[in-house]
Structure 1
Amino acid sequence: MPDNIVMPSSVGRRPSLGTAKSAEIFTRIITHGPVSRLDIGRLTGLSQAKVTKTVSPLIESGYVTVGEHAEHSFPGRPVRPLSVVPRSMIAIGVKVNAGEIFAVTVNLGNDVVGSTRRRLKSHDPETAIAAIVSSVSSLIQQLGSDAEHLSGVGVSVSGDIDTETGTVRHSPLLNWNHVPLGTELASRLGLPVTVENDVRALAKAEHWFGVGRDANSFAIVTIGAGIGCGIYVNGDVVVGSHGVAGEIGHLPLASSDALCVCGRRGCVEAVASSNAIRDAVRSARNEPELTLDDAIRLAHEGDPSAVDAFERAGTAIGAALAATVNLFGPEVVVIAGEGVMDYDLYERRFREEFLAHAFGAAANCRLVVQRHTFTDWARGAAVAALREAITVSAGPAVD
Structure 2
Amino acid sequence: MSSLSSTEAFPANTPAASQIFTTVLSEGPLTRLDLARRAGLSAAAVTKAVRPLIEAGYLVEDVDEDARPALGRPANLVRVDGGRALFIGVKVTGDEIIGVLTDLCCRIMVARHLPLAGRDPVPVLASTVELVRELLTEADGLGVPVMGLGIAVSGAVDRAEGVVRYSPFLEWHDVPLAELTAATTGLPVTVDNDVRALTVAEQWFGAGVGLSDFAVVTVGAGIGCGLVVHGKVVAGAHGVAGEIGHVTVDPAGPPCHCGNRGCVESIAGDAAIVHQVSAATGTEVTDAAQALALAREGVAGARAAYARAGDAIGRGIATVANLFGPERVIISGEGLAAYDLFAEQIRDAFTAAAFGSAEQCDLKTRPLPFEEWARGAAATAIQSFIRSDAH
Please indicate the TM-score interval, normalised by the length of the shorter structure: over 0.9
Change in 2 beyond 3 A, CA 1:274/1:70: farther
Change in 2 beyond 3 A, CA 1:195/1:164: same
Deviations 1:217-246 (A, max 9, x none): 111100011100111111211111111110
Q: TM-score, normalized by length of structure 2?
A: 0.96
Q: Is the 8 A contact 2:13 2:390 kept in 1?
A: yes
Q: Secondary structure at the match of 2:372?
A: helix
Q: Secondary structure at the match of 2:368?
A: coil
Alignment partner, residue 134 of structure 2: 138
Which one-letter code corresponds to 2:147 in the other structure?
A: S
Change in 2 beyond 3 A, CA 1:289/1:274: closer
TM-fit CA distance, 1:151 = 1.3
Whether 1:381 aligns to 2:386 is no
**Shift >6 Å, 4+ stretches:** none
Deviations 1:109-149 (A, max 9, x none): 22111111001111221121111100100000011165652
Identical aligned residues as a percent: 42
Q: Is the 8 A contact 2:63 2:74 kept in 1?
A: no
Q: Secondary structure at the match of 2:30?
A: coil
Q: Is the 8 A contact 1:13 1:150 kept in 2?
A: no
Q: Secondary structure at the match of 1:165?
A: coil
Q: Is the 8 A contact 1:167 1:182 kept in 2?
A: yes
Choose which of 189, 198, 203 in structure 2 pairs with 1:207.
203
Deviations 1:254-308 (A, max 9, x none): 3545122334332110110112101211233333354322211221232221112
Whether 1:32 aligns to 2:27 is yes
Q: TM-score, normalized by length of structure 1?
A: 0.94
Whether 1:192 aligns to 2:154 is no
- How many Å separate the matches in 2 of 1:113 and 1:365? 34
Whether 1:54 aligns to 2:57 is no
- How many Å separate the matches in 1 of 2:297 and 2:310? 18
Whether 1:20 aligns to 2:15 is yes
TM-fit CA distance, 1:104 = 0.2
TM-fit CA distance, 1:179 = 1.3
- How many Å separate the matches in 2 of 1:347 and 1:159? 26
Q: Secondary structure at the match of 1:212?
A: coil
Alignment partner, residue 326 of structure 1: 322
Change in 2 beyond 3 A, CA 1:20/1:195: same
- How many Å separate the matches in 1 of 2:353 and 2:5? 54
Q: Is the 8 A contact 1:86 1:108 kept in 2?
A: yes
Deviations 1:181-239 (A, max 9, x none): 11111111111110000010111011101122121211110001110011111121111
- How many Å separate the matches in 1 of 2:377 and 2:51? 29
Q: Is the 8 A contact 1:315 1:350 kept in 2?
A: yes
TM-fit CA distance, 1:73 = 2.8
- How many Å separate the matches in 2 of 1:297 and 1:360? 38
Choose which of 89, 96, 99 in structure 2 pairs with 1:100.
96
Q: Secondary structure at the match of 2:208?
A: helix
Whether 1:253 aligns to 2:249 is yes
Which one-letter code corresponds to 1:127 in the other structure?
A: P
Choose which of 214, 219, 223 in structure 1 pairs with 2:215.
219
Aligned pair count?
Answer: 390
Q: Is the 8 A contact 2:65 2:75 kept in 1?
A: yes
TM-fit CA distance, 1:360 = 0.7
- How many Å separate the matches in 2 of 1:94 and 1:269? 24
Q: Is the 8 A contact 1:93 1:154 kept in 2?
A: yes
Q: Secondary structure at the match of 1:342?
A: helix
Alignment partner, residue 238 of structure 1: 234
Alignment partner, residue 278 of structure 1: 274
Q: Secondary structure at the match of 1:230?
A: strand
Alignment partner, residue 3 of structure 1: none
RMSD: 1.6
Alignment partner, residue 58 of structure 2: 63
Alignment partner, residue 118 of structure 1: 114
Q: Is the 8 A contact 2:2 2:137 kept in 1?
A: no
- How many Å separate the matches in 1 of 2:289 and 2:209? 35
Which one-letter code corresponds to 1:28 in the other structure?
A: T
Q: Secondary structure at the match of 1:138?
A: helix
Alignment partner, residue 367 of structure 1: 363
Q: Secondary structure at the match of 2:74?
A: coil
Whether 1:350 aligns to 2:350 is no
